[in-house]
Amino acid sequence: MSRGMDERGAVGGEREDFLSSILDTIGVSIIVVKEDCSIVYANRAYGEKFGKTPSEVIGSRCYEIHHNPEKPCHIKFDKYRCAAGACFDTGLRQKDLHVVYTCGDDPRYLGTSAYPLIHADGSVRLVVMTMLDVTSRVNLEQKLVDAVDKYRKLYDGAPDMMYSLNGDAAIMLCNRTMAANLGYEPDEMIGRSLADFLTPESLRWSFDRFQKLKKKGYFEGEMEFLARDGRHLPVFVKSKVICDERQDFLMCDSIARDIREKKEMEEQLLHSEKMRALGRMAGGVAHDFNNILTAITGYAELIADDPATGEAARYNAQQILASVGHAAAINRGLLTFSRRHASEFRPVPLNDVIEERLDFLGRLLGKGIRITTALSVADPVIVADPVQIAQILMNFASNARDAMPEGGEFTIRTEIVLRSDVTTEQAILPEAERYALMTVGDTGNGMDDTTARSIFEPFFTTKEPGTGTGLGLSIVFGIVRQHDGAVTVESEPGKGTVFRVLFPLYTPA
């Protein structure tokens, strides 16, 4: 009997040694703990993880080994979840990411699994814990999260609009730049068709181009987005298809660049070229017309001065001369527009020219219109013909008077601006460090965009037939260009008109 028990004990000891040898060869850290967190078994890998031998950790609390606190983890650390504690509570396997601080300077992350050892009475007496060091994986995942976050910030903060489309041209993703330009939040655009954000003109050919994009793999070209408030936003788009491993269409990524400034520059350049062509044509016509007027004037004077001419004929001749005088005035306007009118250029203080003409401008505008000036303290000096600068003011005043039949305010402001302050519309200018800016405005009827785009063209007028030649503002344009300047207009129906005239500032040699 005694011998049998001894044999069974020997066999049991051998089995424990055998199992312990197996657990020691496993690279995973393993411990067995009681409900009070005291360790009753630890394999070699666990001891090595914490710089101890298995016998040194047996009897210690696991939290003492892992964190060096005097209380269990779930008590010491707020909202901490202990896999072993949960296993004792539920009798079920638990998994958790365990953070330990006693393996060096930096925290280590252990993927922890807790397995209950259930007694015959159904209670959990012991819990087996396996711990695998997943610090590298956690750090890599964090780097990935950081990279994604960084990419998202770069994506959302990019100056260009970016978006991705699926095979149905629905928006899968778009950056905040695109959403903000169109007046939406990104979530409002994702899932909707790109067609919802295109102008009718772009929409007409968008389907065909999208089908070609899917076949060719790329697209470059202009299109117009339609903003929430109805604005048209011209863009230059570059799109590239992304395919799956079978080379089937998966999605396409696109970058859209706002080209409003480019379009405005192109329009300004085209307008400038058109005005130059009109100027050349007007100059040629005016030259030939002047020869004809000279001949008409000569013959009409001969008739009027001839003693033999009857009263009726003399009256008719005088009417011809009066009409020729009116035609000559129009002809002088054409010559001014074409820059063929003789001028005297010299350094002129702009504020002085304005102040000297204020009384005359007041009489021209009439009693119902108040003149307000805000002239710069430093008088801007420009190289100009003062008579022509006065002509600009008179033409502006004349238009303002007609736009304010019930009275209003006529303002003149001057200031010195830097090249960097020059707007896109005024950018076609000779290079200079500083400019004199003269701003002339009224509180009159204003005009729509279509009218504003044409007001500098010769013979364009909104006045009743017979009440204007349509040369006033084209003369202004010609004078300003003759002074190497630029003139722009800003107006809105019912809100008045503002003209801005830029002249290069005079710099003494």
Looking at residue 277, the DSSP 8-state letter turns out to be H
Whether residues 320 and 384 share a domain: the answer is: no
Supply the CATH number for residue 64's domain: 3.30.450.20
DSSP H/E element including 283: helix 260-305
Same domain, 478 and 353: yes
Under the banding of pLDDT at 50, 70 and 90, the label for residue 414 is very high
Q: Are residue 313 and residue 297 in the same domain, yes or no? A: yes
pLDDT of 325 reads 74
Q: What is the pLDDT of residues 472-509, one digit of tens each?
A: 677 788 788 888 888 888 988 988 999 999 999 988 76
Q: Which of 397, 401, 396, 411 has its CA nearest to residue 487?
A: 396
Confidence of residue 8 (pLDDT cuts 50, 70, 90): very low
Same domain, yes or no: 441 and 496: yes
Q: Is 88:113 a contact under the CB 8 Å cutoff?
A: no
Cα separation of 224 and 231, whole Å?
10
Strand-pairing partners, residue 96, are: 112
The answer to whether 501 touches 388, Cβ cutoff 8 Å, is no
Shared domain for 321 and 393, answered yes or no, is no
pLDDT, tens only, 31-71: 898 988 888 888 888 888 888 888 888 888 887 777 766 65
312 and 356 assigned to the same domain: no
Reported in sequence order, the residue ranges of 212-332 that DSSP labels E, i.e. its strands, are 218-226, 232-243, 249-258
Per-residue confidence at 280, pLDDT binned at 50, 70, 90?
A: low
183 with 303, same domain: the answer is: no
Burial (0-12, 13-18, 19+ Cβ within 10 Å), 144: exposed
Residues 308 and 417 in one domain: no
Total domain count, the chain: 4
Domain boundary, last residue among 212, 241, 258 = 258
The reply to whether 1 falls in a domain is no
Cα 216 from chain centroid?
Answer: 30
Q: Are residues 193 and 300 in the same domain?
A: no
CA distances from 239 to 128, 217, 247, 302, 352 (A): 57, 8, 17, 76, 57
Our measurement of the distance from residue 388's CA atom to the centroid of its chain's CA atoms, rounded to an integer in Å, reads 41
In a domain, 395, yes or no: yes
**Are 78 and 187 found together in one domain?**
no
For residue 294, the domain's CATH number is 1.10.287
The share of the chain scoring above pLDDT 90, in percent, equals 21
Structural domain harbouring 415: 346-504
149 belongs to a structural domain: no
Query: Do 313 and 270 fall into the same domain?
Result: yes
Instruction: Out of 237-241, 271-275, 314-318, 493-497, pick the least confident.
Output: 271-275
pTM given for the model: 0.42
Residues 350 and 485 in one domain: yes
11 falls within a domain: no
For 370-387, b/e burial (b = at least 16 CB within 10 A) is eeeeebbeebbbbebbbe
